[in-house]
Chains A and B, each alone.
Chain A
Amino acid sequence: MAGASLGRPGDTNMKSETDQMHSPPKTPRWHVRDLFRLRADIPKPIFTAAGIVVPAILLLVWWLVAYLVLVKPLFLPSPGAILSEGWRQITEGILIADASVSIYRIVIGWLTATVVAVPVGILMGNFKIIEGALEPLISTVRYMPVVALIPLSILWTGIGDGQKILILFLGTFFQQVLMIMDNVKNIDMNLIRAGQTLGFSNREILMRIILPAASPAIWDTFRITIGWTWTYLVVAELVAANQGLGRRIMDAQRYLATDTILFGTLFIGVLGLVTDQIFKRVGRLMFRWNETNR
């Protein structure tokens, strides 16, 4: 261990070190091909710019197609038409009304799914008997098309908000519960062993070790699954809804109001993006300890 201060250990070879002593190191010339090295990092501004440039090009192409009337406006309305449709919905108060109804349904549907999925998923991840009892059932239901359940959902819950929330619940819960089971299973078994050695009861280990250890992963599951809840919105508002972003799109279908359809779809996308960002940021605040900043 003595004398180890000479040079750094590891793969740094002596030759390159002496080279650096003669000429000061300078930033190597940067090439476009550097962008296509496997897994290599690229400059942050380029990374961000790429995310802006691609949608911008698509928008430009879209605008050109509409401007040159390469496609009938019925099939693809111009970006301007979409904007003015958006403005109309805002000024007439339709958008706020639709969005608040839809957000309410999303939040309640997702929350009910989550409130059930968290305890069930945690139990499934920790007790083989519960996994054995529920996993085959849930995996089967998971593949059933939610749309096909609309008639039944109306029979069971009527045509009010309850029916919409039920559809959102069905679309979210079965995926979510399996993901939470996996989140819990993926924690280091030795954490549980450490807890047992330290004399903690099963309940204490569950609440004070397993749950916090799995919480960043569970939060990620929340973030992903609320995205899925958003994608089920149109399905949920397919039948017997007067208001809602999904309803607006389905109504527009009847009148071939493609500008309304496209605006509604894009707007749902934007709300989904906002939700995602909120979850991401809150997660970062909540799980500071999970960051490797060294």
Chain B
Amino acid sequence: MNTQKNEATGAPKVELDGVAKVFQVNRAPFVAIERIDLRILQNEFVSIVGTSGCGKSTLLNMVGGLDEPSAGEIRIDGASVRGPGRNRGFVFQSYSLFEWMTVEGNIRFALEKSAIAKSEKAELVRHYIHAVGLAGFETAYPKQLSGGMRQRVAIARALVYKPSILLMDEPFGALDAQTRGMMQELLLKVWEEHKVTVLFVTHDVDEAVFLSDRVIVLASRPGRVKRDIAIDLERPRSFELLTDPRFTDYKREILAEIREETLKVMALEQP
């Protein structure tokens, strides 16, 4: 069972209460998210999957405070979310590094608003560069790095100021399959060492099952929670798990749910 899973006790870390999001598209309201209620526990690793356009990224942006819900409330540690803040860290698919800063500079920049001593900052930067395996590349500029390495910088930058929630929007979506596998293992390793609550948006079902404690399948048009599946696989996880029959069972179950949604959306799109 989940031997060293999480301290899944006490009040939830993130709460979504009746969260809805309506956009104006060509003067007509478009319901991106109809209603989502969700509880995410401290240090839980939760993935959100669904067909494209189901509102996964919108949901993540709202938790990040980059977007406001049209209705409902999002609470972190019991406090209502009012804009972005340093209790959350973001990792985007597009890396989004500060390209005019070195690897070290990018990570140090994230610490600028931290009220800690300079020496302590230097130590943290060094620690996280090592944690993501970038020792030796401190003075390289992002454009000199491969995609996988850039995303390691982004992960270090998002973790160095010790946010309690890590929000990841298809972070490995732009990487090739081999690099993606390595990055998933790296992420799990870093997460085991520096526990944070992770909200991870992906369309890769393997990735979601491999990484998560829970996989949330969103229904499309309008977006809402279709299934909430606990992934009961032991940790730490290694790549051998990918061929484990229990893994395959979870995968089949989730793929079936997503397929059903995709068919529904395709039917809607028929002329």
A-side residues, CB < 8 A to B, are 1, 4, 9, 188, 190-191, 193-194, 196-200, 209, 212-213, 215, 287-294
B136-157 CB contact bits vs A (8 Å, 1 = yes)? Answer: 0000011110100000000001
How far, in Å, is B92 (CB) from chain A's closest CB?
Answer: 4
Structural contact, A197 and B84, CB atoms closer than 8 A: yes
How far, in Å, is B168 (CB) from chain A's closest CB?
Answer: 12
CB within 8 Å for A200 and B113 given contacts A213-B99, A292-B143: yes
Nearest residue (CB) in B for A200 is: B113
Cα distance A199–B162 in the bound complex, in angstroms:
13
Cα distance A209–B106 in the bound complex, in angstroms:
11
Structural contact, A196 and B66, CB atoms closer than 8 A: yes
Structural contact, A196 and B144, CB atoms closer than 8 A: no
B-side residues, CB < 8 A to A, are 64-66, 83-86, 88-90, 92, 94, 96, 98-101, 109-110, 112-113, 141-144, 146, 157, 161, 178, 181-182, 239
Nearest residue (CB) in A for B109 is: A198
Structural contact, A1 and B181, CB atoms closer than 8 A: yes
Structural contact, B86 and A194, CB atoms closer than 8 A: no
Cα distance A200–B83 in the bound complex, in angstroms:
12
CB within 8 Å for A213 and B100 given contacts A1-B181, A198-B86, A199-B85: yes
- Give the interface centre of A9, A194, A292, A294 by most chain B CB atoms within 10 Å: A194
How far, in Å, is A252 (CB) from chain B's closest CB?
Answer: 48
Cα distance A290–B181 in the bound complex, in angstroms:
29
Structural contact, B85 and A9, CB atoms closer than 8 A: no
Structural contact, A197 and B85, CB atoms closer than 8 A: yes
Cα distance A180–B182 in the bound complex, in angstroms:
40
Chain A residues with Cβ below 8 Å from B89 are: 197
Cα distance A19–B184 in the bound complex, in angstroms:
37
CB within 8 Å for A1 and B109 given contacts A9-B178, A198-B86, A289-B141: no
Cα distance A185–B98 in the bound complex, in angstroms:
16
| Further contacts, 6 of them, CB under 8 A, given A196-B65, A197-B86, A292-B143 | A1-B182, A190-B96, A197-B88, A199-B86, A200-B113, A289-B143
Structural contact, B92 and A198, CB atoms closer than 8 A: no
Cα distance A212–B105 in the bound complex, in angstroms:
14
Structural contact, A190 and B92, CB atoms closer than 8 A: yes
Cα distance A196–B67 in the bound complex, in angstroms:
12
Structural contact, B98 and A209, CB atoms closer than 8 A: yes
Cα distance A292–B146 in the bound complex, in angstroms:
10
Cα distance A9–B144 in the bound complex, in angstroms:
22
Structural contact, B99 and A193, CB atoms closer than 8 A: no
Chain B residues with Cβ below 8 Å from A289 are: 99-101, 141-143
- Give the interface centre of A9, A199, A293 by most chain B CB atoms within 10 Å: A199
Chain A residues with Cβ below 8 Å from B66 are: 193, 196-197
Chain B residues with Cβ below 8 Å from A209 are: 98
Chain B residues with Cβ below 8 Å from A193 are: 64, 66, 84, 90, 92, 96
Structural contact, A1 and B178, CB atoms closer than 8 A: yes
Cα distance A132–B65 in the bound complex, in angstroms:
26
